């Protein structure tokens, strides 16, 4: 069984611009390549799990998500940190595109994307981590028995101030490179 880092995308790997819908808006954080390369070198698979409700809302062309992910991989490959898989949820119950406006099994914090990755890639979620800038990322990790980290980039600093009652988390970190030091060092 393999270990993986399940990565939120917007606000965790790249600047969250709202609904990313053109390539000029795609800006990785300066540390993202280094962070992912360190995780890869430590033997973790790198898997993006991203809610893209803008597709259900008609604000993002689903084909653009593929273009953005190809460009992201191209930049990360150059940093020696290629991704192993990318999953995204195009749904939202309040969307405007009828076929996508459903209560799906994959919109975080529902675990559908991780369940698919576990089946596709042979991952043990209990040896894996979820890293993201929202509590729903942390809750996703908890839903599958993974450890989870909230990063303060993107929405994270605000989310930290707005912690749901009783919400647990393995660590809160300044950014992805700090999260890597926790994952690899074993101490929060």
Q: Catalytic positions, please?
A: 8, 10
Residues 90, 62 contacting (CB under 8 angstroms):
yes
Interface residues with Mg ion (CB under 5 A) are: 8, 10-11, 133
Tell me the closest approach of the beta carbon of residue 12 to Mg ion, in angstroms.
5
User: Residue 10's binding partner, choosing from Zn ion, Mg ion, none, with beta-carbon cut-off 5 to 8 A by kind?
Assistant: Mg ion
Q: In the β-sheet with 45-51, what is the strand arrangement from edge to edge?
A: 85-89, 45-51, 4-7, 129-132, 147-151, 171-173
26 touches 14 (CB < 8 A): yes
What is the 3-state secondary structure of 42-110? CCCEEEEEEECHHHHCCCCCHHHHHHHHHHHHHHHHHCCCCCCEEEEECCCCCCCCHHHCCCCCCCCCC
Beta-bridged to residue 10, according to DSSP, are 14
Please say which residue, 136 or 157, places its beta carbon nearer to Zn ion.
136
Rule CB under 5 A: say whether 147 interacts with Zn ion: no
Pick the closer one to Zn ion by CB: 92 or 178.
Answer: 92
Distance CA 39, CA 27 (A): 20
What residue 151 binds from Mg ion, Zn ion, none (CB within 5 to 8 A, per partner kind)?
none
- Does the CA dihedral 84-27-9-36 come out positive or negative? positive
Binding mask 90-109 for Zn ion (x = CB under 5 A): -x------------x-xx--
Residue placing its CB nearer to Zn ion in the complex, 91 or 134: 91
82 vs 116, which CB is nearer to Zn ion?
A: 116
Q: Which residues bind Zn ion (CB under 5 A)?
A: 89, 91, 104, 106-107
């Amino acid at each position: 069984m393999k270990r993986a880092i399940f990565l939120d995308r917007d606000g965790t790997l790249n600047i969250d611009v709202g609904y990313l819908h053109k390539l000029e808006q795609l800006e990785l954080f300066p540390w993202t390549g280094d962070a992912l390369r360190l995780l890869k070198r430590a033997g973790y698979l790198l898997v993006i799990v991203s809610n893209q409700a803008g597709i259900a809302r008609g604000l993002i062309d689903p084909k653009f998500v593929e273009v953005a992910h190809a460009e992201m991989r191209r930049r990360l490959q150059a940093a020696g940190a290629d991704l192993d898989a990318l999953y995204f949820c195009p749904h939202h119950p309040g969307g405007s595109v009828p076929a996508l406006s459903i209560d799906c099994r994959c919109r975080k914090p529902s675990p559908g994307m991780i369940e698919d990755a576990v089946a596709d890639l042979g991952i043990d979620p209990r040896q894996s981590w979820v890293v993201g800038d929202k509590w729903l990322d942390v809750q996703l990790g908890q839903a599958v028995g993974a450890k989870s980290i909230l990063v303060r980039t993107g929405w994270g600093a605000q989310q930290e101030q707005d912690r749901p009652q009783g919400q647990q988390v393995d660590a809160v970190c300044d950014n992805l490179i700090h999260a890597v030091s926790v994952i690899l060092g074993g101490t929060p």
